[in-house]
Chains A and B, each alone.
Chain A
């Protein structure tokens, strides 16, 4: 789903029936029945809150600027980069514009993408707490578990939307400027431009999946503090520290457990036939992080005193 889609559906659904006759004063019968557990309307409200927020739009715009910059730089440069020059896939853009999207994701994964995830995830609960709106949501009553589920769902949605926005712009702009030609995959075989689009889609999904663990850490940290900037900073420090540890060969034994271990292991998705091993093992790793940290977040959030 692209961010444009999200806000468009949100907006359409949000419009109250403006000319609805005010036939009765909006009096509701006293509620005797136990409240239905419905996440739908709160979810819609949360999607609008996050994706219409100027900060989120700015984050997405910054991500989208990466493929734009890459495409413009290549367009303006005199010759194609030599093989092995610049970030992975850059030299392949000359074959097919779709590689603009692949290059953008590779460039963004180590820092830029996690940075945006850290901002959105770190803000999720702590932002409401520092605002004071958390207590009013709980008094509404949103329900602590329901609120956490909705918040987590929207953070995970952002994990998908962020790389998807980059890929979409990269694909469109790349194909426009450099043509949607067939190109050689990593196994040396030829991928049609349709194949390539599918592969870029898989790459995007892989990037989204890679962010799930970090997002879960961010949500947990966000339940611990009332200072959103602190939660954001802690989350990004986790991502960076994990990558530093991953670079130390003395810590080989630790590497399979690192959140960031498989972040760049997506090359198999560009082979023919596709090798799914890294995708599956990354899914298990990220799922494990999500299970642990979302459970911790739930345990913390459902018992803590909201004093902000």
Chain B
């Protein structure tokens, strides 16, 4: 239990008759970058809220950084930086003043280093030039950056980032990815909830998938990928020949396409496929080996796309 940065057991939450969390068991190892996936309304944010003490669970236990939630939250929270359900600020205060206010709310920070820490956090997210502007003049992306800055006001052991790249331009998205990576390299555990699967695929070491209030998959990204097959695609004008050859090799799911054939490798080395195709005089225009994307895997697990769960 204590080797986990975040864990829950049997976490259940009901709003009236609707069960929004149904016995969720989360395990985030120290130092992991934990991608928390799920369609809208699947219970991701509710789980994060309970972990951070904003909401209470009806049953089940939770702990962060070895402290019981919610009993010992006051000890844990100073080491946790969080961005939950979008950034929020006093529109009539400047970026600097907003961060100083949040820092003053934390009884464990040192007021004498506040100005410096605020400036550092703003610098880290590239907001130094806008530090004196009022928050209401910030663009959506700048607010998002300010929200991330508030999570970086002091060194943290755990960062909880709910949709961190929301509203960011491609450049900002890249910066956030780089930031998460550098924080993770320093040993910070990061929990990232996102609906951008490609993003999760790029930065996460662990993945969990929520669907309709249940945790339906959890593991390392490698484990997650292993369960999904590796797919090859041959672009060729000789579709029938390719079909026959690949089926003959024992590949699974051999599917003809438009001047192309795709199939699952199922453990066959890809080079044997190419050799067999060439021997059978199949003209190969291109040959692609690709892992099944996280998105396909995701849809396979949740049995749904990004529709809101009812």
Query: Inside 8 A of A141's CB, which chain B residues have their CB?
Result: 53, 73-74, 77-78, 105-106
| Chain B, 37-92, CB within 8 A of any chain A CB | 49, 52-56, 73-75, 77-80, 82, 84-92
Nearest residue (CB) in B for A34 is B75
User: How far, in Å, is B83 (CB) from chain A's closest CB?
Assistant: 9
How far is it, in angstroms, between the C-alpha of A36 and the C-alpha of B105 when the chains are bound?
Answer: 12
Pairwise interchain contact B84-A139, C-beta atoms closer than 8 A: yes
**Which one of A39-47, A87-95, A109-117, A182-190 is at the B interface?**
A39-47
How far is it, in angstroms, between the C-alpha of A180 and the C-alpha of B115 when the chains are bound?
Answer: 48
Question: Taking the complex as formed, is A273 at the interface, i.e. its CB lies under 8 A from any CB of chain B?
Answer: no
Interface SS majority for chain A: loop
User: How far, in Å, is B157 (CB) from chain A's closest CB?
Assistant: 8
Pairwise interchain contact B56-A305, C-beta atoms closer than 8 A: yes
Pairwise interchain contact B78-A131, C-beta atoms closer than 8 A: no
Question: Taking the complex as formed, is A83 at the interface, i.e. its CB lies under 8 A from any CB of chain B?
Answer: no
Nearest residue (CB) in B for A23 is B116
Question: Taking the complex as formed, is A251 at the interface, i.e. its CB lies under 8 A from any CB of chain B?
Answer: no
> Given known contacts A26-B117, A41-B111, A139-B84, is B105 in contact with A35 (CB within 8 Å)?
no
Most-contacted residue by chain A among B73, B87, B104, B106 (CB, 10 A): B104
Question: Taking the complex as formed, is A84 at the interface, i.e. its CB lies under 8 A from any CB of chain B?
Answer: no
Pairwise interchain contact B85-A132, C-beta atoms closer than 8 A: yes
How far is it, in angstroms, between the C-alpha of A267 and the C-alpha of B133 when the chains are bound?
Answer: 50
Question: Taking the complex as formed, is B108 at the interface, i.e. its CB lies under 8 A from any CB of chain A?
Answer: yes
How far is it, in angstroms, between the C-alpha of A50 and the C-alpha of B147 when the chains are bound?
Answer: 22
How far is it, in angstroms, between the C-alpha of A305 and the C-alpha of B53 when the chains are bound?
Answer: 9
Query: Inside 8 A of B117's CB, which chain A residues have their CB?
Result: 26
How far is it, in angstroms, between the C-alpha of A4 and the C-alpha of B102 when the chains are bound?
Answer: 25
> Given known contacts A26-B120, A140-B102, is B75 in contact with A35 (CB within 8 Å)?
yes
Question: Taking the complex as formed, is B139 at the interface, i.e. its CB lies under 8 A from any CB of chain A?
Answer: no
Most-contacted residue by chain B among A20, A35, A136, A146 (CB, 10 A): A136
Query: Inside 8 A of A250's CB, which chain B residues have their CB?
Result: none
User: How far, in Å, is A139 (CB) from chain B's closest CB?
Assistant: 5
Question: Taking the complex as formed, is B114 at the interface, i.e. its CB lies under 8 A from any CB of chain A?
Answer: yes
Nearest residue (CB) in A for B91 is A131
Per-residue 0/1 for A42-72: is the Cβ within 8 Å of any B Cβ (1 yes, 0 no)? 1011000100011000000000000000000
Question: Taking the complex as formed, is B113 at the interface, i.e. its CB lies under 8 A from any CB of chain A?
Answer: yes
| Among candidates A20, A38, A139, A303, residue contacting B115 with C-beta atoms closer than 8 Å | A20
Pairwise interchain contact B108-A35, C-beta atoms closer than 8 A: yes
| Among candidates B86, B87, B115, residue contacting A18 with C-beta atoms closer than 8 Å | B115
Question: Taking the complex as formed, is B268 at the interface, i.e. its CB lies under 8 A from any CB of chain A?
Answer: no
> Given known contacts A35-B108, A306-B54, is B102 in contact with A137 (CB within 8 Å)?
yes
| Among candidates B55, B85, B92, B105, residue contacting A140 with C-beta atoms closer than 8 Å | B105
How far is it, in angstroms, between the C-alpha of A139 and the C-alpha of B51 when the chains are bound?
Answer: 11
How far is it, in angstroms, between the C-alpha of A136 and the C-alpha of B54 when the chains are bound?
Answer: 10
Pairwise interchain contact B105-A142, C-beta atoms closer than 8 A: yes
How far is it, in angstroms, between the C-alpha of A139 and the C-alpha of B117 when the chains are bound?
Answer: 18
| Chain A, 126-173, CB within 8 A of any chain B CB | 131-133, 135-143, 146-147
Query: Inside 8 A of A142's CB, which chain B residues have their CB?
Result: 105-107
Query: Inside 8 A of B82's CB, which chain A residues have their CB?
Result: 139
Task: Give how many B residues have a beta carbon under 8 Å from the other chain's beta carbons.
Answer: 47
Nearest residue (CB) in A for B76 is A141
How far is it, in angstroms, between the C-alpha of A243 and the C-alpha of B114 when the chains are bound?
Answer: 48
Pairwise interchain contact A140-B115, C-beta atoms closer than 8 A: no
Question: Taking the complex as formed, is A79 at the interface, i.e. its CB lies under 8 A from any CB of chain B?
Answer: no
How far is it, in angstroms, between the C-alpha of A28 and the C-alpha of B79 when the chains are bound?
Answer: 11
Pairwise interchain contact B85-A135, C-beta atoms closer than 8 A: yes
Pairwise interchain contact A132-B101, C-beta atoms closer than 8 A: no
User: How far, in Å, is B155 (CB) from chain A's closest CB?
Assistant: 6
Query: Inside 8 A of A306's CB, which chain B residues have their CB?
Result: 49, 54-55
Nearest residue (CB) in A for B86 is A132
How far is it, in angstroms, between the C-alpha of A204 and the C-alpha of B55 when the chains are bound?
Answer: 42
Query: Inside 8 A of B52's CB, which chain A residues have their CB?
Result: 139
Question: Taking the complex as formed, is A16 at the interface, i.e. its CB lies under 8 A from any CB of chain B?
Answer: yes
User: How far, in Å, is A201 (CB) from chain B's closest CB?
Assistant: 33
User: How far, in Å, is B137 (CB) from chain A's closest CB?
Assistant: 15
Question: Taking the complex as formed, is A37 at the interface, i.e. its CB lies under 8 A from any CB of chain B?
Answer: yes
How far is it, in angstroms, between the C-alpha of A136 and the C-alpha of B101 when the chains are bound?
Answer: 10
How far is it, in angstroms, between the C-alpha of A31 and the C-alpha of B106 when the chains are bound?
Answer: 12
Question: Taking the complex as formed, is B154 at the interface, i.e. its CB lies under 8 A from any CB of chain A?
Answer: yes
Nearest residue (CB) in A for B151 is A139
Most-contacted residue by chain A among B74, B84, B93, B100 (CB, 10 A): B74
Question: Taking the complex as formed, is A27 at the interface, i.e. its CB lies under 8 A from any CB of chain B?
Answer: yes
Question: Taking the complex as formed, is B188 at the interface, i.e. its CB lies under 8 A from any CB of chain A?
Answer: no
| Among candidates B54, B106, B115, B154, residue contacting A17 with C-beta atoms closer than 8 Å | B115
Using a CB–CB cutoff of 8 Å, the interface residues on chain B facing chain A are 49, 52-56, 73-75, 77-80, 82, 84-93, 100-117, 120, 150, 154-155, 157
10 pairs, A vs B, C-beta closer than 8 Å: A20-B112, A30-B79, A31-B79, A35-B74, A53-B92, A131-B88, A136-B88, A136-B150, A305-B49, A306-B55
Interface pairs A-B: 4 shortest CB-CB: A132-B88, A16-B115, A140-B105, A141-B77
Interface contacts beyond A34-B74, A146-B107, A306-B49: sample of 8 additional A-B pairs, CB < 8 Å, sorted by A: A18-B115, A26-B120, A38-B107, A42-B105, A132-B88, A140-B77, A142-B107, A307-B55
